[in-house]
Structure 1
Amino acid sequence: MKITYDKDVDALYIEISRKKAIESDEVEKDVIVDYDENDNIVGIEVLNCVKKNKDKILPALKEIEKVSV
């Protein structure tokens, strides 16, 4: 699993599998789930991540940046 955050567009992506996504579904506002050819979840994208959850997300993102470096 890999977690990335793009601060330019305020999007968090959780990569669950390296398989290619062939379909995506917005399961709720600003939450998109990517599926492979067998309908397995390969990733989850959260748009407007910090904007909606600033107090909860910012500390976690700082920890992710430390681990990703």
Structure 2
Amino acid sequence: MIKLRLKRYGRKGKASYRVVAMNSRDRRDGCALEELGFYNPRTNQIYLNIPAIQIRLQQGAQPTPTVQHILNRAKII
């Protein structure tokens, strides 16, 4: 199953996250199928590739609860 979830990157204690589409059985920082945007919780900065996210959702990808919240804040869902 394909999930839309967060992939962590950045320094220790100063994490940022990429919104990615990946297989649900893969590791958190494993190989992603597609990068769809990023989220920085320290500055509350969000960038999303909206057309690509909508395509993945139409194909049946399921967002995790955290990504669901980010998409709701961006008014995509």
Do Structure 1 and Structure 2 share a fold, with TM-score over 0.5? no
TM-score, length-scaled by structure 1 = 0.34
Which structure is higher in helix share? 1
Larger radius of gyration: 1
